[in-house]
Structure 1
């Protein structure tokens, strides 16, 4: 969604309040699709501050992530407090300022960047997740496998044979 912010740069006393529910499907990040299970609720205030415009507010949504251990999809709630600075002039020394081109602010980019910064590094459905069996691939959270656990380093396999013979 794109918002026109031209009046904020021209009228320094003006404020713009934005409250909306944004329907989003998914976006691609780090070789996977991040899906939304709920609309993104935005409650924003845009106000001028010198040559810049401050964006202050909150964002709330729920994502569908894939567990790193069991590969099951699980819901993950996101609640982010936003505090962004925007400018029409490109300043190389400050990378935290969002450059606005043609007086149009792209909310999708701000939403996606803030969600990416809040994503867990290791996505786990719950702290007790057992994951998948390394041999047969069964989900150990749903059932137990009958695999014989015989992890022997191939370099030591001959030594094991010595202890097995009588």
Structure 2
């Protein structure tokens, strides 16, 4: 969703308040889809600050993520406090400033970039997730399998005979 912010660059006393529910289905990041179970609630304030525009506010939504251990989808609530700086001029020394072209602000890009920045490295449905059996693939959170785990590194197989009581 693009927002016209040309009046903020021309009139330094103008402020723009944006409150809306952004309907998003999903976006692709890091070889997986990040889904949304609720609309993205945006509460933003844009105000001029010299040659730049200061964007403050918050983003609130609920994501649908795939668990890193068991691959099941789970809900992940987020609340992000925003504090961004926008500019029409490209400044190479300050990488934290968002460059604005054609006096339009892309809210989708800001939402996605901020969500990506707070995603956990390891996405777990719960901290005690048992994951999947690496032999039969059954979800160990729901049932147990009858696979025998005799995993011995082939490089250390001879040592196993050393400790056998045969």
Tell me the number of residue pairs that the alignment of Structure 1 and Structure 2 aligns. 166
Residue 157 of structure 1 deviates from its aligned partner by: 2.9
Query: Secondary structure in 2 aligned to 1:110?
Result: helix
Name the structure 1 match of 2:83.
83
Name the structure 1 match of 2:63.
63
RMSD of equivalent CA atoms: 1.3
- Asked whether 1:93 is paired with 2:93, we answer yes
TM-score (norm 2): 0.95
CA offsets 1:22-59 (integer angstroms, 9 cap, x no match):
00011111111111111000000000000001110010
Name the structure 2 match of 1:154.
154
Name the structure 2 match of 1:52.
52
For residues 3 and 163 of structure 2, what CA distance do their matches in structure 1 show?
74
For residues 20 and 12 of structure 1, what CA distance do their matches in structure 2 show?
24
For residues 155 and 103 of structure 1, what CA distance do their matches in structure 2 show?
63
Name the structure 2 match of 1:138.
138
For residues 165 and 82 of structure 1, what CA distance do their matches in structure 2 show?
64
Query: Secondary structure in 2 aligned to 1:105?
Result: strand
Query: Secondary structure in 2 aligned to 1:8?
Result: helix
Residue 88 of structure 1 deviates from its aligned partner by: 0.6
Q: Point out where structure 2 has 5 or more consecutive residues left out of the alignment.
A: none
For residues 93 and 15 of structure 2, what CA distance do their matches in structure 1 show?
27
Name the structure 1 match of 2:10.
10
- Asked whether 1:108 is paired with 2:100, we answer no
Query: Secondary structure in 2 aligned to 1:24?
Result: coil
Name the structure 1 match of 2:24.
24
Residue 162 of structure 1 deviates from its aligned partner by: 6.7
Query: Secondary structure in 2 aligned to 1:74?
Result: strand
Query: Secondary structure in 2 aligned to 1:134?
Result: coil
For residues 14 and 163 of structure 2, what CA distance do their matches in structure 1 show?
83
For residues 84 and 14 of structure 2, what CA distance do their matches in structure 1 show?
17
For residues 107 and 159 of structure 2, what CA distance do their matches in structure 1 show?
63
For residues 165 and 16 of structure 1, what CA distance do their matches in structure 2 show?
79
Residue 149 of structure 1 deviates from its aligned partner by: 1.4
For residues 122 and 136 of structure 2, what CA distance do their matches in structure 1 show?
23
Name the structure 1 match of 2:41.
41
